[in-house]
Amino acid sequence: MSGIPLLSVRGLGKEFRERGFGSGRSVVRAVDDVSFDIHQGETLGLVGESGSGKTTIGRMIVRLEEPTSGRIELRGEDLRDLSGRRLMEFRRDVQMIFQNTQNAFNPRRSIRSVLSDPYEIHRLAAGRELEERIGELMRRVGLTPEMLDRYPQQFSGGQRQRIGIARALALQPSLVIADEPVSGLDVSVQAQVLNLFAGLRRELGLAMLFISHDLRAVYFLCERIAVMYLGRLVEIGPRRRLLENPVHPYTRALVGSIPAFQPGGGFTRTVIQGEISDSEPTATGCHFAPRCALWRELGRPERCREARPPLSPAPGGGMAACHFADVPGSQAAEFGDAAPGAHSAVGPVNLAARLPGGSG
Amino acid sequence: MTPLDETGGTVLEVRDLAVEFPLTGSVVRAVDGVDLDVAAGEIVGVVGESGSGKSVTMLALLGLVHRPGRIVGGSVRLRGTELAGLGPRELARLRGRRMALIPSDAGAALNPVTRIGAQVDEGLARHLPELPRAERQGRILDILRRVGLPRPDTQVRRYPHELSGGMQQRVAVAMGVQLGPDLLIADEPTTALDVTIQAQILRLLLDVREESGTAILFVTHDMTAVAEICDRVLVMYAGQIVESGSVAEVCAAPGHPYTKALLDAIPPLGGEPPEELTTIPGAPPDPRAWPVGCRFAERCPLRRRLGDPAECTSVAPAMATLDSRGSAGRRSRCHFPDALVEAVGGLVR
Ligand SMILES: Nc1ncnc2c1ncn2[C@@H]1O[C@H](COP(=O)(O)OP(=O)(O)OP(=O)(O)O)[C@@H](O)[C@H]1O
Ligand SMILES: Nc1ncnc2c1ncn2[C@@H]1O[C@H](COP(=O)(O)OP(=O)(O)O)[C@@H](O)[C@H]1O
Ligand code: SF4
Ligand code: SF4
Ligand SMILES: [Mg+2]
Ligand SMILES: [Mg+2]
């Protein structure tokens, strides 16, 4: 794609000070030198283990969190330079759908008043027109206007999630940061919402950063997928290439842990081994090394410990951050194959063995 | 009735359970005549649309339906003990030790101002007060390690908001399994988790079952997860169970059009994605006034295909055995389950 991207993220970093005792306070690098673009009308999927920094990236883009380093540009304009009317426009143009809708609503306010807010704050509609627009919004997300006078706690989790989506869509933003927007939904409503997002992109050119752990949903909606590991972007590329020929050892393991739909076939996917997300990140070298099967296979090369692997072009499109991305075939991740051990990139973990009196 | 495992016997037996929420000027009957059995060592999946009553059913089993909501009928027996008449204090004593809940949203369920270690300790201290403090500490670290929480010794001193969603959920799983309950109710325990941690937690549930013979009710919207870990599945729609049976049989040949629609809506993986996913048009009926006939009628593709038979909208279908298919315990709530068979096949994903 050409031209100025709608959203451009460059060298983005975020550090949190850890509450600590005795030995002073340590710093958690939640996001570490992340760069990517999203173009008008494009949906980028953001996946990665819990705690890998996905939500934090989303929160920085909507200015709920101040970056420690790097820059974020919307249509070429640095977000830090926004103020006054431009900031107001930005707040209309970029919306976030939150991961946790349980606490996202004030229990004393009806859904009507929640959905009226954006129109009233931005003075966009009132009276009959407002009524029509919020009614239409409710129908769009698969609810009915008759539910407008109910309160958040009178809805099920899935229904509340759809209200969150309705609220984000109210101002017709050009970019939506959607953090796990379909994870609370049952599959049929999820399909409706995914179709809804796909339709908004087709019809209105809506662009989206779609954060999700559901690789089926990501695969359906997102032309490109970005994979995070411990604050770093380890791979980004077109969806088919990424799923069918993952390059980075972590991506290979991730693809191997997607459940196949084989009713009665039992539990066959790879369980990724190791202490996850919160393991001490190294300042130098590759974060993934302690769990990397390729590193072990290659005889633990020093290079992985000493130099941070840069994102470099990957065969078949996109980029991957691995010093040995071009090592062929050593751990073929045949996509779609659910045989036990087929994706032993990180080796199956035997949790049973760790339980007292474990049956192995 | 479902044949029960002779060795472990029935852990949970629910008959004709009904739960209502009074609203101004109307009543929501969220759960309407639910029967279910869970045997020791069995994992039973509960799937169904948002608002179909899964969570309210589970809360009712735990005696946790909050006022003004209340159980208006039916019987709940846990290892033979009727829970319907028990007071709040007796139920509280059973919770944690005999039956435990793993909530879907640990972020909301954990106390924001209490450190993780102290929260895990609450259940231990309440149910095992005789255990020395130091031993409890050891058990806390052990259980947190078992659920895959990295660096448990550091995490116990943190507050919930300092943990990512996945870590919070693992803490909730730890709290649910730590006392080895007879019945574990997991209400969408992996909904907010990435696929790798989801795999770990499903694996953990399988191990808990294996070792302690714990019966597990696993509420989810994820059919792929049900297919992986459950023995049987219950499909809920509009406050009722509309289909039950072994996972393999239900997925291979659903006996209710709603189940079939749920399976069809799973997004395919690989290849060129479709422009649109299959959805179920329309919305579930208003729980304040359930329709007279079949509750799925308004959205039912099978009914349309059959030329709109009168039974669908005039007679409420009962849960009936599907004799022609598979093993005993295969049941569905549809007047025309056999008409579905020809429509199935090719359920390969
Ligand atoms: N406190 C309440 N007051 C009024 N109605 C309620 C209340 N709690 C739940 N309901 C209604 O009960 C029905 C069932 O809700 P429940 O939360 O059990 O659904 P669910 O199947 O668990 O949905 P989800 O998968 O989205 O969590 C819904 O129609 C809901 O609106
Ligand atoms: N307010 C905070 N204080 C301390 N650490 C935090 C805070 N918010 C997030 N973190 C840490 O940052 C990392 C990334 O978190 P998050 O962005 O929530 O991940 P994800 O959304 O991918 O699950 C985690 O290690 C988390 O513990
Ligand atoms: S750089 Fe080395 S440690 Fe890192 S992913 Fe590649 S092979 Fe593994
Ligand atoms: S009874 Fe009729 S409307 Fe109901 S599920 Fe069966 S065919 Fe559809
Ligand atoms: Mg998150
Ligand atoms: Mg629920």
Ligand nearest to the CA of residue A157, numbered in listed order? 1
CA of B284 to the centre of ligand 4 (A): 14
Cross-chain residue pair B50–A268, CB shorter than 8 Å: no
Angle (CA) B12-B17-B22 rounded to 5° is: 140
Q: Is A246 in the pocket of ligand 3 (CB under 6 A)?
A: no
Out of A206, A222, A238, a domain closes at: A222
Give A147 to chain B, closest Cα distance, Å.
Answer: 10
Residue A239, domain member (yes or no): no
Residue A241, domain member (yes or no): no
Angle (CA) A130-A135-A138 rounded to 5° is: 130
Residue A137, domain member (yes or no): yes
Q: How far is CA B140 from CA B36, B145, B183, in A?
A: 33, 9, 21
CA of B341 to the centre of ligand 3 (A): 50
Atom 5 (ligand 4) nearest CA: B334
Ranges of H-type helices in chain B: 54-61, 88-94, 106-109, 116-127, 133-146, 152-155, 165-177, 195-212, 223-229, 247-252, 257-264, 301-305, 310-314, 338-341
Residue A151, domain member (yes or no): yes
Between CA B205 and CA B199 the distance in angstroms is 10
Q: Are residues A75 and A139 in the same domain?
A: yes
**pLDDT computed for residue A260 by the predictor:** 78
Other C-beta atoms within 10 Å of A266: how many?
A: 12
Q: Are residues A176 and A314 in the same domain?
A: no
Is the sign of the CA dihedral A95, A99, A103, A108 positive or negative?
positive
Q: Percent of chain A scored above 70 by pLDDT? A: 82
Residue A235, domain member (yes or no): no
Strand B320-321 versus strand B331-332 pairing type = antiparallel
The mean pLDDT of B162-175, rounded to a whole number, is 83
Q: Are residues A271 and A335 in the same domain?
A: yes
Of the candidates A85, A174, A77, A81, the one whose C-alpha atom is nearest the C-alpha of residue A123 is A85
Cross-chain residue pair B221–A359, CB shorter than 8 Å: no
Atom 31 (ligand 1) nearest CA: A155
**pLDDT computed for residue B168 by the predictor:** 85
Range with the largest mean pLDDT of A33-37, A199-203, B132-136: A33-37
Residue A1, domain member (yes or no): no
Q: Are residues A171 and A278 in the same domain?
A: no
CA of A211 to the centre of ligand 5 (A): 8
Between CA A271 and CA A254 the distance in angstroms is 9
Q: Which two tokens stand for residue A332?
A: 């073929």
Domain tally, chain A: 2
**pLDDT computed for residue B211 by the predictor:** 79
Cross-chain residue pair B164–A51, CB shorter than 8 Å: yes
Give the model confidence (pLDDT) of B319-328 as tens digits: 999 876 666 6
Between CA B72 and CA B60 the distance in angstroms is 10
- A248-A250-A251-A257 Cα dihedral, nearest 10 degrees: 150
Q: Are residues A38 and A142 in the same domain?
A: yes
Q: How confident is the model at residue B345 (pLDDT cuts 50, 70, 90)?
A: very low
Q: Is A253 in the pocket of ligand 3 (CB under 6 A)?
A: no
**pLDDT computed for residue A335 by the predictor:** 29
Other C-beta atoms within 10 Å of B145: how many?
A: 16
Q: Are residues A35 and A146 in the same domain?
A: yes
- The residue of A23, A138, A213 whose CB has the most chain B CBs within 10 angstroms, and thus the best one to mutate to test that interface, is A213
Give the model confidence (pLDDT) of B215-252 as tens digits: 999 998 888 889 999 999 999 999 999 999 999 999 98
Q: Are residues A70 and A218 in the same domain?
A: yes
Q: Is A41 in the pocket of ligand 1 (CB under 6 A)?
A: no
- Please report where in the chains the tokens 């926004």 appear, as a residue: A82
Q: How far is CA A309 from CA A31, A276, A318, in A?
A: 16, 20, 15
Atom of ligand 3 nearest to the CA of A303: 2
- Please report where in the chains the tokens 């359970």 appear, as a residue: B17
Query: What 3-state DSSP class applies to A54?
Result: helix
Mean pLDDT of chain B: 88
Q: How confident is the model at residue A339 (pLDDT cuts 50, 70, 90)?
A: very low
Q: Which of A103, A214, A266 sits opposite B108 (nearest CB)?
A: A103
Q: What is the DSSP string of B10-75?
A: EEEEEEEEEEEEEETTEEEEEEEEEEEEEETT-EEEEEE-TTSSHHHHHHHHTT-PPTT-EEEEEE
- The residue of B57, B201, B277 whose CB has the most chain A CBs within 10 angstroms, and thus the best one to mutate to test that interface, is B277
How many contacts (CB atoms, under 8 Å) link A and B? 229
Out of A170, A188, A222, a domain closes at: A222
Q: Are residues A84 and A215 in the same domain?
A: yes
Question: By residue range, what is the domain housing residue A316?
Answer: 246-352
Q: Are residues A214 and A250 in the same domain?
A: no
Residue A46, domain member (yes or no): yes
DSSP A309: P
Between CA B271 and CA B280 the distance in angstroms is 23
Q: Percent of chain A scored above 90 by pLDDT? A: 45
Q: How confident is the model at residue A121 (pLDDT cuts 50, 70, 90)?
A: confident
CB-based burial, B146-161: b 16+ in 10 Å, e otherwise: bbbbbebeebbebbbe
DSSP A298: T
Q: How confident is the model at residue A188 (pLDDT cuts 50, 70, 90)?
A: confident
Give the model confidence (pLDDT) of B287-302 as tens digits: 899 999 999 999 999 9
Q: Are residues A214 and A281 in the same domain?
A: no
Reading phi first (left if > 0) and then psi (alpha if -120 to 50, else beta), residue A175 is in beta
Between CA A356 and CA B178 the distance in angstroms is 12
Ligand nearest to the CA of residue B280, numbered in listed order? 4
Cross-chain residue pair B270–A243, CB shorter than 8 Å: yes
Q: Which of B142, B146, B246 sits opposite A351 (nearest CB)?
A: B146
Between CA A157 and CA A155 the distance in angstroms is 6
**pLDDT computed for residue A102 by the predictor:** 60
Between CA A331 and CA B61 the distance in angstroms is 47
Between CA A220 and CA A197 the distance in angstroms is 11
Chain B residues with CB-CB distance to A271 below 8 A: 196, 199-200, 203
Atom 2 (ligand 1) nearest CA: A154
Residue A240, domain member (yes or no): no
Q: Is A295 in the pocket of ligand 3 (CB under 6 A)?
A: yes
Q: pTM value? A: 0.76
Asked, as a colleague might, if the bond just before B68 is cis with ω within 30 of 0, I would say yes
**ipTM attached to this prediction:** 0.78
Q: How confident is the model at residue A184 (pLDDT cuts 50, 70, 90)?
A: low
Q: What is the CATH number of the domain that holds A13?
A: 3.40.50.300
> How many Å is the Cα radius of gyration of chain A?
22
Query: Which burial class, exposed, middle or buried, applies to A143 when counting CB atoms under 10 A from its CB (0-12, 13-18, 19+)?
Result: buried
Q: Are residues A43 and A155 in the same domain?
A: yes
Give the model confidence (pLDDT) of B249-265 as tens digits: 999 889 999 999 999 88
Ranges of H-type helices in chain A: 54-61, 84-93, 111-121, 127-140, 157-169, 187-204, 215-221, 239-244, 249-256, 293-297, 302-306, 351-354
